[in-house]
């Protein structure tokens, strides 16, 4: 199954990355435009410099005593000059050059206008009827450095913008999804028996189209479950009186019949009717277990309820029940409905008594950690059968009488009160037996 992803996280990261990508695209466009503009400005400055130097160079050359000798222009102080130039005659002889000019970087052929070498941008121009030529060179590294510096200036704010953008986007998304988070929390806080409509106030339109059908589904499910529980409870309740009447009549008939086959058949009928009576009682318990009244407004002593149930079962069965209640477990209270908790404990103990070894005691443990353990000796239940015992009318391979509803009722109550139930066979620390571990919630 595909792992679910947080919508808030997805939107936060996605919007932040989108904003950063747009920022980078905008910077890239700005750098490209700026690069073209800078090249135009640098070229204009290169040509303007040539036009300014050329008249001075011509005057300098014309005023020499010996016009054929080359001359370097000396600088007033030591400095790095990015622009260098050569002034040559028609034959290419150097007449005048800047103090740090390297003739090797200039074109050997005297060209007019702009041209580019591997390392420099050059501009050439003629003067005095094309007898004197000037060529100015500018390192391409200077232009690259200018573009790089501008790019860094535009990009470094991203270091600050990325966390601020992420925090701002996360806060905005969290604020936008607050109604959805409230809707989720309301659903999570509900117990399994609460099928009332969930509030859809303030939900976005996209979620509202889902939430309203969910409420309709919950309403149909609630009415279906209530109808089923009502039918189960009413049927079991209505059967109690005729079953009790029939059982009384059968017992009276047994006393009137002489010894023989007729009396044996009456005993079998009584046994069947008792089984039917027990089944109707289990169905009423199941209807309560699956209902919504599993909590009360007041807290009740769970240890006392367990003791009442075990005392009652000791009088009605021959199996020994041993209680293990440490001193700190006495007085544990909960808002679990006392009748529901008594039904839970009785069904688990009935199951242990019926299906455990008759010559071995049933153990019941209750600790301060709200853990209820019921252990009985007996044959190991195979794992494939163990997983099905929570289902209705499912029984393990046993000769004991029963309806197959005991663990189903216990599981319904455990689910309804938000607890957990674990079935183990063999029991913990034993080579055989069966164990039920109930971990109650903090309610």
At residue 220, the pLDDT reads 84
Candidates 300, 325, 321; CA nearest to 312 is 321
What DSSP element (H or E) covers 31? helix 7-62
- Please tell me the distance from the alpha carbon of residue 397 to that of residue 395, in angstroms, as a whole number: 7
Q: Is the pLDDT of residue 277 over 60?
A: yes
Residue pair 82/142 in contact (Cβ under 8 Å)? The answer is yes
Q: What is the mean pLDDT of the chain?
A: 82
As to burial, measured by CB atoms within 10 angstroms (0-12 exposed, 13-18 middle, 19+ buried), residue 84 is buried
Averaged pLDDT for residues 146-161: 84
Output the DSSP codes for 213-261.
HHHHHHHHHHHHHHHHHHHHHHHHHHHHHHHHHHHHHHHHHHHHSPSSH
pLDDT computed for residue 376 by the predictor: 92
Q: Is pLDDT at 172 greater than 90 in this prediction? A: no
169's CB contacts (< 8 A; 6+ apart) are 11, 12, 15, 16, 19
CATH topology for the 205-285 domain? Helix Hairpins (1.10.287)
Residue 1: predicted pLDDT: 46
CATH for 293-439 is: 3.30.565.10
Question: Which tops the pLDDT comparison, 288 or 110?
Answer: 110
**Confidence (pLDDT) at 408:** 85
* 10 pLDDT above the threshold of 90: no
Contact (Cβ atoms closer than 8 angstroms) between residue 336 and residue 297: no
Q: Where are the domains of the chain?
A: 7-158, 205-285, 293-439
pLDDT tens figures, 326-358: 776 677 788 888 888 888 899 999 888 888 888
Mean pLDDT of 95-105: 85
Q: Is the pLDDT of residue 190 over 80?
A: no
Q: Please, what is the end-to-end C-alpha distance for the chain in angstroms?
A: 33
More confident residue, 219 or 422: 422
Report pLDDT digits (tens) over 121-132.
999 999 888 889
Distance CA(126)–CA(113), nearest Å, equals 10
The 8-class DSSP code of residue 104 comes to G
Of all residues in the chain, the percent with pLDDT exceeding 70 is 86
Scanning 290-337, the segments in alpha helix (DSSP H) are 302-316
Average pLDDT of the segment spanning 243-265: 81
267 or 290, which is more confident?
267
134 has which bridge partners? 87, 125
**Position with higher pLDDT, 242 vs 78:** 242
Give CA separation, 80 vs 47, 136, 143, 150, in Å. Answer: 20, 15, 16, 22
pLDDT of residue 79: 55
pLDDT in tens, 294-327: 777 788 888 888 889 998 888 888 888 888 887 7
Element spanning 99, H or E: none
Give 362 or 62, the one with higher predicted confidence.
Answer: 362
What is the per-residue pLDDT across 428-440, written as a single tens digit (0 to 9) for each?
888 889 999 998 8
User: Starting at the edge strand that comes first in sequence, how are the strands of the sheet with 113-116 ordered?
Assistant: 71-72, 94-97, 84-89, 132-139, 120-127, 113-116
Tell which phi-psi region holds residue 404, choosing left (phi > 0), alpha (psi between -120 and 50) or beta: left
Q: Are 343 and 285 in contact (CB under 8 A)?
A: yes
Each residue's pLDDT tens digit, 224-233: 767 766 766 6
């Amino acid at each position: 199954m595909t792992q679910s992803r947080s919508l808030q996280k997805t939107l936060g990261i996605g919007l932040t990355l989108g904003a950063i990508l747009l920022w980078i695209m905008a910077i890239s466009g700005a750098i490209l435009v700026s690069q073209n503009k800078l090249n135009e400005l640098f070229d204009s400055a290169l040509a303007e410099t040539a036009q300014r130097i050329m008249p001075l160079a011509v005057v300098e050359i014309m005023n020499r005593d010996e016009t054929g000798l080359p001359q370097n222009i000396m600088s007033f102080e030591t400095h790095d000059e990015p622009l260098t130039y050569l002034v040559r005659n028609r034959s290419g002889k150097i007449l005048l050059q800047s103090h740090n000019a390297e003739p090797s970087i200039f074109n050997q052929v005297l060209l007019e206008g702009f041209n580019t070498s591997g390392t420099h941008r050059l501009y050439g121009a003629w003067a005095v009827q094309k007898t004197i030529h000037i060529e100015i060179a500018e390192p391409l590294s200077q232009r690259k450095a200018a573009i790089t510096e501008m790019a860094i200036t535009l990009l470094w704010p991203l270091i600050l913008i990325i966390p601020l953008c992420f925090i701002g986007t996360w806060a905005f998304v969290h604020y936008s999804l607050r109604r959805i988070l409230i809707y989720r929390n309301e659903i999570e806080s509900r117990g399994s028996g609460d099928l009332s409509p969930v509030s859809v106030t303030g939900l976005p339109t996209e979620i509202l189209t889902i939430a309203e059908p969910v409420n309709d589904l919950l309403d149909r499910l609630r009415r279906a479950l209530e109808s089923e529980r009502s039918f189960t409870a009413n049927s079991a309740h209505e059967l109690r009186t005729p079953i009790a009447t029939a059982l009384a009549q059968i017992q009276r008939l047994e006393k009137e019949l002489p010894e023989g086959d007729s009396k044996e058949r009456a005993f079998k009928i009584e046994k069947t009717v008792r089984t039917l009576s027990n089944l109707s009682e289990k169905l009423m318990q199941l209807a309560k277990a699956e209902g919504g009244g599993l909590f009360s407004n007041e807290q009740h002593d769970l240890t006392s309820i367990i003791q009442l149930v075990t005392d009652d079962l000791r009088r009605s069965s021959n199996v020994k029940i041993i209680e293990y209640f440490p001193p700190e477990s006495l007085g544990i209270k909960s808002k679990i409905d006392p009748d529901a908790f008594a039904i839970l404990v009785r069904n688990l103990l009935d199951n242990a008594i019926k299906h455990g070894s008759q010559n071995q005691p049933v153990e019941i443990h209750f600790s301060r950690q709200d853990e209820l353990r019921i252990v009985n000796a007996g044959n190991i239940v195979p794992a494939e059968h163990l997983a099905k015992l929570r289902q209705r009318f499912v029984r393990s391979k046993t000769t004991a009488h029963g309806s197959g509803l005991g663990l189903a009722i216990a599981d319904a109550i455990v689910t309804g009160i938000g607890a957990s139930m674990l079935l183990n066979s063999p029991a913990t620390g034993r080579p055989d037996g069966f164990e039920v571990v109930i971990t109650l919630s903090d309610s």
